Amino acid sequence: MRLKSTSVAIHVAQGCGALLAVALTPGNALAQARTEQTVLMSANPRERAGQEQYGYASAVIAGGMIYVSGVVVGQGPGEADLVPGYERAFDQIEATLKRMGATLDDVVEMTSFHTDITAQIDLLSTVSKRRLKGQPPAWTAIDIDRLLPDQGLTEIKIVAYRPGAAPVK
């Protein structure tokens, strides 16, 4: 895929995910791909309200790729560690990919943001290796100060290949 000029900005938004804002130049082939058929909003009314308030989607198809907004992970009541939260996040990511015509097997890139990378990275690695079967995706893990909502401890953002997609020219 050849891009003319693209800049990407990632911002944290309150709710169940992060805002993935892709600023595209008018001549860029990906800019022409954003239609109602290629932008997925949440089916959950509470999440959808947050998306509309902050201006982001659950996922966007651009060319042959699916960009899934970040999913924020926290510990639930009575949970001893983040493994159940990571499982919930991958369940949500899997459901989003399914709605876009893909599976977790199609994930090519993962970015994770950690409020305590040393305490969290091994647990996320264990869950992601179990959920992302086959060849591993490219992965960037970043240590950060905080996430929104405040109880968020890790955020997982995914890029997946859309099977059967025509390449962008």
Given a cut of 60, is residue 34 above it in pLDDT? Answer: no
Q: Is 18 exposed, middle or buried (0-12, 13-18, 19+ CB in 10 A)?
A: buried
Lowest mean pLDDT among 24-38, 43-57, 59-73, 98-112: 24-38
Maximal C-alpha separation, the chain: 51
Binned at pLDDT 50, 70 and 90, residue 53 comes out as very high
Average pLDDT over residues 74-100: 95
The band of 148, judged by pLDDT with boundaries at 50, 70 and 90, is: confident
What is the model's pTM? 0.77
Distances (CA, A) of 141 to 4, 5, 9, 39: 27, 25, 16, 26
Rounded Cα distance, 162 and 153, in Å: 29
